[in-house]
Chains A and B, each alone.
Chain A
Amino acid sequence: MTKIDQPADPATSADQLVRLAEMLRLDFAEENLAALAEQLRLIDALEHAELEDFPPILRMDADWHE
């Protein structure tokens, strides 16, 4: 088990997704989970490097030229 002062690598691996799918009794093709893991790895990396100033909202403001 991961110790509390040694946080797990946040990047998602295909193995993690396979285990999670098994726990939830979901049946997905391994190649699809591998592709999803790659997708999530990129989101994780983006979050780590570039999202500090951005909240999770959708703003449809109409003032782009003001």
Chain B
Amino acid sequence: MSDSSALTDLSISEAAASLRCGETTSVALTQATLARIKETEPTVQAYATVTEELALESAERADRELADGHDRGLLQGIPIGVKDNCNTKGILTEVGSKAMEGFVPDYDSTVVAKLYAAGAVLIGKTRCHEWSCGGSEPPTRSAWDRDRFPGGSSIGSGVALSARSAFGTIGTDTGGSIRIPATLNNLVGMKATYGRVSAYGVLPLAWSLDHVGPLTRTARDNAIMLGAIAGHDPNDANSARVDVPDFLTDIDGGVQGIRIGIDRDYFLYPGVVDSVRVVTEAVIDELAALGAKIIEVKLPELESTRETQMTIRMVESASYHRHRIREKGHLYSPGTRATLQMGEVILATQYVAALRARERFRSAMKDLFRREYLHALISSTIPVSAPLLEDVWRPRDDMENGETPTDGFVHHVYPANLSGQPAISAPGGFTPEGLPIGYQLMGRPFDEATLYRIAYAYERTQNWHKRQPPQV
């Protein structure tokens, strides 16, 4: 293979196979990715920093090791982008903030250390919203339609993948920031169980809601990445002491006998637009046709997840930023500063009430999964397709209650941050205008494997994940 676009179109699985049968090299993959970055960055601006020299050195090492029979696994030699809130030793880490301009960490976050240990090639740091809270806009543009919102806060992680300027990326998700860019860029994004992936060395938004996870173009690729970055980390007090399975072992096991719940009152509420509703119902029908049992459920506790999540997020963010804002507040954009500071006026008793409300919600979710013997809950990832950039924060014309597209995002994605359950977004279809629509599966804690199995079963019946964006 010599054509660089043919290389960058490969999935991680395909690239790994090509490396092992001698059809390509890590250096070739990396050079092709760097060429793709040069080609696409003027249009999409997905990267904050490109680590060309380091990437080529890592690629040469990967090729040497593979030639010597030192196989570190399927990520070895694969170019990966990492969100710019993950500390990278010796490499700029600015989390989209002027207050962090020029910051070069002296250690690697655990997720980056694990990627290095797996032999992955760090191709660059992907742009993110300021302090991962979406308070201001980086210049990153969607490869699907540059006038439309490409998601956030892991905005560069989503766009780089859809632009084929990375084979996989790392994002973080406090309130949907892996799953929202996944759905808006036709990708697979996994917010694994809370504690499954170490958050050590990742600049926090809210400690008890933050999750680190992979974005990829296929379910199998995502399983490969999660396998490489998951596991207990003594440096992270919230890291779970739970064994990490091989997520590929049963990925092709099909969905016969898998029980999937749908709460139509909540997840198909009137804010879900027709195109998203049609795709969601089609995914449900297809999974039923493949042998899954679809079960209608009702979970009233979902209704208070927004207020609960917001209260916890605001207080924890305010705590983390309190001193920095007093020293460097002028280096925060005003909207971001207010978002991060507002938790200072919430009482301690109200924060504790929100924590108790979270436990009530998690307990109710657990009861539901036990009662119905569910393996997953299904929904669209968000209620709308990509809104125009100027409409993201505006009340929707079709909603009388003043709901904005962002309100709809949080309606669907917050529950999994709150309960800590794993949740995956995967390509489900397209609008008539050609914009991607994803579906979401929420699973049992530490059972990401079943979510991959469902997503892979659906992916094999469709070719949505192979569609490429028109604008790069």
Contact = CB atoms under 8 A, between A and B. Distances in A.
Interface string B204-217: 00001000000000
The A contact surface, by secondary structure, is: loop
Interface string A43-66: 110110011011111111110110
B342 A55 contact: no
A43 B354 contact: yes
Contacts of B307: 39-40, 42-43, 46
B345 A26 contact: yes
Interface residues of B, number: 40
A43 B357 contact: yes
A60 B193 contact: yes
A56 B420 contact: no
B369 A64 contact: yes
A55 B338 contact: no
Size range of the chain A interface in the assembly: 20 to 34
A8 to B, nearest CB: 12
B446 A55 contact: no
A56 B359 contact: yes
A32 B345 CA distance: 12
Contact of A57 (B195, B354, B355, B357): B355
A59 B359 CA distance: 8
A40 to B, nearest CB: 5
A44 to B, nearest CB: 7
Interface pairs A-B: 4 shortest CB-CB: A56-B355, A47-B353, A62-B446, A54-B359
Given A24-B345, A51-B357, A58-B208, 17 more contacts: A36-B345, A39-B311, A42-B307, A43-B350, A43-B353, A44-B350, A44-B353, A46-B307, A47-B356, A47-B357, A54-B356, A56-B352, A56-B355, A58-B362, A60-B195, A60-B445, A60-B446
24 contacts: A28-B342, A28-B345, A33-B345, A36-B345, A39-B311, A40-B307, A42-B307, A43-B353, A46-B304, A46-B307, A46-B353, A47-B357, A54-B356, A54-B357, A54-B360, A55-B359, A56-B355, A56-B356, A58-B358, A59-B362, A60-B240, A61-B445, A62-B242, A65-B370
Interface of B: 193-195, 208, 240, 242, 304, 307-308, 310-311, 314, 338, 341-342, 344-347, 350, 352-360, 362-363, 366, 369-370, 373, 420, 444-447
Interface of A: 12, 17, 20-21, 24, 26, 28-29, 32-33, 36, 39-40, 42-44, 46-47, 50-51, 53-62, 64-65
